[in-house]
Chains A and B, each alone.
Chain A
Amino acid sequence: MNSMRTTFRNNLKQYMMLVALVALVIAFQVLTKGVLLKPMNVSNLIFQNAYVVILAVGMLLCILTGGNIDLSVGSVVALVGACAGTFIITWGWNPHLSILLCLGIGILIGMWQGFWIAYMRIPAFIVTLSGMLVFRGLTLIVLNGLTLAPFPPAYLGYSTGYVLDLFPSLELFGVRNTTSLLVGILIAIIYCVTQVVGYLGRKNKGYVVEGVWALIVKMAVTSPAVIWLFYILASYRGIPMVLIIVGIVLLAYSYFTSHTVMGRHLYALGGNEKAARLSGVKTKRLLFLAYVNMAFLAAVAGIVFAARLNSASPQAGQSFELDAIGSCFLGGASAYGGVGTVGGTLIGALFMGVLNNGMSIMGISSNVQQVVKGLVLLVAVAADAISKNKLPFNIPRFGKRGVESQASVES
């Protein structure tokens, strides 16, 4: 019981963000008179935010290493798009091989930046600021300042299409795309089964187990939510291909950060670099890999984004880095490093996405939108700082925190 309470408290920020996200969705659903959750708009939301989520996951790993950010991702997105355009459109190379080559270019870019940051100890802020200029410049050189279009269908198919409907004649529950609905139901079932099996396994081995009710509540909330999402998608044109890419990225990195040794080391590095080093964590290599990974995911996002635009544009990806960084901090990542989750980052990215989309539907000018987004980010991070009491002065009004900081002063 106690352990559950502790876990709950440690993740409070995330639960609060989730509640805020639901509230935001409801608010915009009302304000937009139901347009927000119309099947077509949900599909749009996914296409609009896929690349932000992918970038934000990579950014999270960088931020975890100690509050380091990567300012170059927008430029990397553009450069990778430009390379894809040149290979496929100008030179007529095989789209599939070109995509692999583009991912390789991403990894090389990451190795370049990671080398300076991890091994030469140059602040990430400076290295990636340089990268932001260098890769944007290279994009312009590669494209000669022009936009290349259009891409062949083989390239676009990876991320702009929808999953094929296997049962076109069937219209289960009156949806257009029965396959999507079935996939949703299948995912919900797999989720419940793994939860129950894991629960029973732990119980059999005699480990501390959370209450049965907690398990049931978790399943009763998550499963319908999943099925509902896929129901909406099924009512339009089905599952967007890009959702599969995003899903794989989310699952893989969520597992990586929470269940692997290297993921754990990442949190240790960001929490206290010296202590991590003295505990046998290879800190430099880890920092290096975080940036290699960031550029790799930026390349993935670049390919997805070029497909969405159906062109390689020299202006692509501008200010993407800010969306990605914002999503991480909104999702509870600490600006000092060592704290943050993939789940939280997803929530943060969705929050930004819904905010953008909702305000656009309402016809609010993009100038005002920027002001709102900026303020939301500030408020979220300020709330985090206050709740952590990392303020320069003791504020006794935040009583409960006061006791804890008191305890540490005494020690």
Chain B
Amino acid sequence: MTKKLLEMRSITKEFPGVKALDNVNITVNEGEIHAVVGENGAGKSTLMNVLSGVYPYGSYSGDVFFDGQLCRHQGIKDSERLGIVIIHQELALVPYLSIGENMFLGNEQQRRGRIDWHKTHQKAEEYMRIVGLQENPHTLVKDISVGKQQLIEIAKALAKNVRLLILDEPTSSLNESDSKNVLDLLLRLQEQGVTSIIISHKLNEISYCADRITILRDGSTVETLDNQSAEIPEERIVKGMVGREMTERYPARSRKVQDEIALEVKDFTVYHELFPDRKVVDNVSLKLHKGEVVGIYGLIGAGRSELALSIFGQAYGTKASGKIYKDGVLLELNSVPDAIRANIAYVTEDRKGSGLILSNSIVHNITLPRMDFVSQGMRIDKDLERKTADHYRESLDIKTPSVGQLVENLSGGNQQKVLLGKWIFSQPDVLLLDEPTRGVDVGAKYEIYQIINELVEEGKSALFISSELTEILGMCDRIYVMNQGRIIGEFLAEEATQEIIMNRIMQDSKGEIGA
């Protein structure tokens, strides 16, 4: 008989005008890994906020039982005392504090008000061993990779004597090997008796590690599936999330790759911005044909974004050398405006950090890269501008009452569409798409793929950077594999498989060590 560790009964949480959660029920057994999935806005984070006490007892209806006891959390401190620890999607580590300091932040190893640093670092090492991390506890957090930072977050939770670990999108900014590392850690912790709830958009990861899966849709529980006895196909989960059958994960496009070369990059080398003797992009040459989607796959840190950014008017790096030809003409791209005028667009991987002006309206965001299209001289034609934005709202199906709406009020998927719309508006021939579907739900992903297909069918070409191998294989005509700043392989879509590509990277990394 398995013991129920957590039971949430008929949880209803209302915000004025919106029912974020409507009679949600969920039970988590002791020692299991329980996945919670759902589209953006389905209520996953709200549910976790109820559980962890962000929304205090009384602000929702329904009951939360932990270990058989009714919870009346007034804040996060209360839930942490019971051993419920939540790790948020955005990592909450302080970059300029050391690993040890971060791990015991708010939980300091103290004696009569004085911090015992010896004990702090000793215990930090102990927990780092558990999560399989070999670092000096004195290292500053800013100096280690995101993958390792995620492990530190987990170690930090363990240091609080966690009984129920909640991970909100733990792998959203990790590459595949780091992601697997985190998931394997969860499985190992499970053997030691730690129960966890994992929220994720990545269904393959959920199938990999979850024992049971609860699906939320529009604030209600749809169903709880058992993944332990028989593995559930991803299509089955998607169907529960969107309420309809999604047979095609990647929309088909009529193949019209033309012979003409749209963009050619030759012998491109770029050095690191802060350490000018470190090569970030190393002698890269690549071609994009008209009407072609070319994938660039590589682990995080392989130099993919840096490559795209430095093609985009040297927006990254120093001492760039090499040549860029567009339609056979040698280009001199020294600034971002140069690149935009040459009809190149870079759609960033970080829409909030470097893509959108969140405090501005949809209109202002869309027209920003080419204000000259909607102005005479210095004067903006506001009516034309609005009409243009309305056009993109309709053609990209951006869900908003008005294009005057501030972008910060839109959901992630709609923000991503505004970002795409902004760059489509700039009339590019070549789009450098950096993780164009990061952090958006399955439905919005499909729409974004369709938009990309429409663009290349018009004869534009796209460089498609992604950390999801399945997405690269599903969308691209040709794939370059990058590692350590170099291109180490080129495959046609027909001949590429996940194994071939991963093997190529592993071999290359091995060669590095051998040499």
Where the two chains meet, the residues of A that have a C-beta atom closer than 8 Å to any C-beta of B are 2-3, 5-7, 10, 202, 205, 207-208, 259-262, 264-265, 267-268, 271-272, 274-282, 334, 338-339, 394, 396, 399-400, 402-404, 406-411
Task: Report whether A268 and B364 are in contact in the complex, using a CB–CB cutoff of 8 Å.
Answer: yes
| Closest A-B pairs by Cβ, 3 of them | A411-B412, A271-B357, A3-B402
- B189 touches A (CB below 8 Å): no
Count of chain B residues with a beta carbon within 8 Å of a chain A beta carbon: 66
Whether a CB of chain A sits under 8 angstroms from the CB of B110 is no
Query: How many whole Å from B45's CB to the nearest CB in chain A?
Result: 5
Cβ-defined partner of A410 (8 Å) among B18, B402, B412: B412
Question: Do A338 and B372 have beta carbons less than 8 Å apart?
Answer: no
Contact A277 B15 (CB under 8 A): no
A282 engages B16 (CB within 8 Å): no
Within 8 A of A (CB), among B338-371: 339-340, 346, 348, 353-361, 364, 368-371
Q: List 5 additional A-B contacts (Cβ < 8 Å) besides A272-B353, A275-B348.
A: A5-B402, A259-B379, A259-B380, A265-B371, A403-B17
Q: Assess the B386–A268 pair: CB atoms within 8 A.
A: no
Q: Name the B residues within 8 Å of A7 (CB-CB).
A: 402, 404
Across the interface, do B337 and A280 meet the contact criterion of CB distance under 8 Å?
A: yes
Residue contact A410 to B44, C-beta cutoff 8 Å:
yes
Question: Is B188's CB within 8 Å of the partner chain A?
Answer: no
Interface contact B368-A281, CB-CB below 8 Å: yes
| A6 with B353: CB separation less than 8 A | no
B503 within 8 A of A: no
Q: A262's closest neighbor in chain B, by CB?
A: B378
The CA of A334 and the CA of B412, in the complex, are separated in Å by: 24
Contact A277 B411 (CB under 8 A): no
Q: Are B18 and A279 closer than 8 Å at their CB atoms?
A: no
B59, B315, B378, B390: the one within 8 Å of A277 (CB): B315
Partner of B387, one of A207, A274, A408: A207
Contact of B357 among A5, A205, A268, A334 (CB under 8 A): A268
Evaluate whether A272 and B378 lie within 8 angstroms (CB atoms) in the complex, with A207-B386, A277-B315 already known.
Answer: no
Inter-chain contact B46/A406, CB cutoff 8 Å: yes
Tell me the B35-55 residues at the A interface (CB within 8 Å): 40-42, 44-46, 49, 54-55
Q: Could you say which residues of chain B place their CB within 8 Å of the CB of A3?
A: 401-404
Q: Cα distance A406–B410 when bound, in Å?
A: 11
Nearest chain A residue, comparing its CB with the CB of B410: A407
**Are B55 and A396 in contact (CB-based, < 8 A)?**
yes
Give every chain A residue within 8 A of B415 (Cβ-Cβ): 411
CA distance A29 to B508 in the complex (A): 81
B383 in complex: contacting residue of A202, A402, A410, A411, CB < 8 Å: A202
What are 17 A-to-B residue pairs whose CB atoms are below 8 Å?
A: A10-B361, A202-B383, A259-B380, A261-B371, A261-B380, A272-B357, A275-B356, A276-B368, A278-B312, A280-B339, A282-B335, A338-B360, A396-B56, A399-B16, A403-B16, A407-B411, A410-B411
Is B422's CB under 8 angstroms from A279's CB?
Answer: yes
The reply on B20 being an interface residue by CB < 8 A is yes
